[in-house]
Amino acid sequence: MREHSDLAATIFEQLHQLSDEAWTFIKLRCLQDGKIDSALFDQHQSVCYELALCVAEIAAAKTLLKYANTLQGDHLGVELALLFCAESIQRILQKFSAFGSEMGIARKRALSFYDNAELIVLLETCSSASNSSALGAGICELNLTRLPSTLDEEKEMVRETFLRFANEVVKPRAEAIHREDKDIPEEIIQQAAELGCFGTCIPERFGGLQPDDHSDSLSMIVVTEELSRGSLGAAGSLITRPEIAARALLAGGSQAQQKKWLPPLAAGEMLCAISITEPNTGSDVAAVSLKATPTAGGWLLNGSKTWCTFAGRSELIVVLARTNPAQSLGHKGLSLFLVEKPAYAGHKFKHAQEQGGSLTGNAIATIGYRGMHSYDLFFEDYFVPAENLVGEEPGEGKGFYYTMAGFSGGRLQTAARATGVMQAAFEAALSYARDRQVFGKPIANYQLTQIKLARMLATITACRQLSYEVAALMDKGKGQMEASLVKLFACRSAEWITREAMQIHGGMGYAEESAASRYFVDARVLSIFEGAEEVLALKVVARELIERA
């Protein structure tokens, strides 16, 4: 096995080098006067998208191999890692072969990997049906829901605490919240607040759980994953919005603003929403047009927003608005505001201010991710005090940068949400496969089911370990692009794994009474929010890797 691991590591380094060459090739075709020309770049969208997916899978495989090397004596865990790597190598080589001419990589060069006799042995051994099904059989026999943790004792205690909370408080309520599109019940919110989950990204000096002297993104990931395992809509996203708001305030807020807003956010005494997207802008944040007009003592907001999750229940909405009407300024004309309002239950609200302004919200009907509700918002002369402009007067025009500071953490957290949903789907599939009898025996005894389960557990572990690695990077002030990379890979994986879980359930997987159907529709949103998959692949991952080339 060690020989296979070493060979796989070498192959992934070679694939990484190929991807670097491809980015250089594409960069040369996008340059105009020494700079990346957007129009030229857009002519290479398809190949950049596919190459970004390759880079994400290479990163996941390399991380999983490093993890496997820590599994002393765990034969099953190492073999699962090699299964994932063998299948990844073949998928990546297929893409280099199919898109080689557009990447500047000759097809025969991609195919020449198959001239390596040792690689052929690795592929045929590790990804064979007999090996994969044997691994799946081992998973079923042991009822193995996850591979060994790399967390230290403290983080493992945090994980177990929120695992119990998810099992005892969230899961019993999750189905009713989803099927009836209910609000998140107060008992979930209150108990989550008591456990400190709203303060995972807020420094201790403001009442949060984050150490004052260093960042600790790993705790946030561990908590998020377990909450999402309980329910994405009812718990997994509760701390995403305070995460984004806190990072924005820490990046640009004045000391007075940090002291005022961070403690109640950390304690869960004030819940918040994030309002960036507009009906005509989508992921193009720089095109935001909601107007913020100066008035006596503050600003008046006018215009529409959409997809503002949790806007009804929240008492604070972080809103990106245009304080300079010149659209030519793009993102430089944007500022970030802290908008206060009362909490409202249900699917619609209207808040009328004493000054005459109003804010109206209507929930958008969605196929999944229910409980938090995402709203269309309409601001009409809505007054915001001057001290609620993030950064106060010096912060005017810097809202885009503060927003991006928040989003990097949100994207990493979304990868953890995806891992939590995958974990829940896998556990449900494994349990059902062991219990369900078809043609006289449990479906867990059939080869195809076993192969599915083996692939699922290997992929979940790759996503988890990659998110841990990116968390460490972000805590060092790096990893902004990598946060998008892990979101890209984990969210795509969640769609596939929840589909496989539904397939294992058969007809019951399509029934609403089965949690598998909820996991499937919940997973679908992951590749859309906190940066749509295509936008992340092109505008974040591809652009940065081209710049580096």
477 CB-contact burial (10 Å; exposed 0-12 / middle 13-18 / buried 19+): exposed
Question: Would the CA dihedral through 546, 51, 469, 399 be positive or negative?
Answer: positive
Q: How far apart are CA 544 and CA 233, in angstroms?
A: 32
Helix 515-523 / helix 399-435 crossing angle, nearest 10 deg: 150
Are 52 and 542 within 8 A, CB to CB? yes
The amino acid sitting at 96 is F
Q: Quote the tokens at residue 418.
A: 């995806």
What is the maximal distance between C-alpha atoms in the chain? 77
Beta bridge pairs of residue 192: none
Give dist(CA 450, CA 455) in Å, integer: 9
For 68, other C-beta atoms within 10 Å of its C-beta total: 24
The three-class DSSP label of residue 381 is strand
Among 350, 518, 434, which Cα is nearest to 136's? 434
Nearest-CA neighbor of 63 among 399, 525, 467? Answer: 467
Sign, CA torsion 496/498/501/502? negative
Distance separating alpha carbons of residues 545 and 105, to the nearest angstrom:
17
Q: What residues are paired with 273 via a beta bridge?
A: 317
530 is catalytic: yes
Cα dihedral angle (191, 197, 199, 203), rounded to 10 degrees? 130
CA 71 to chain centre: 27
What span, in angstroms and rounded, lies between the C-alpha atoms of 316 and 371?
Answer: 18
Amino acid at 159: R
What is the number of residues in the chain?
549
**Are 252 and 398 within 8 A, CB to CB?**
yes
From the list 504, 371, 511, the residue with the least C-alpha distance to 432 is 504
Cα-to-chain-centroid distance, residue 15: 25
Point out the catalytic residue in the list 278, 530, 534, 544.
530
Q: How far is CA 463 from CA 42, 58, 163, 418, in A?
A: 29, 12, 18, 9
Q: Which 8-state DSSP code applies to residue 308?
A: E
Residue in 549, 450, 544 with CA at minimum distance from that of residue 488: 544
Residues with catalytic function: 530
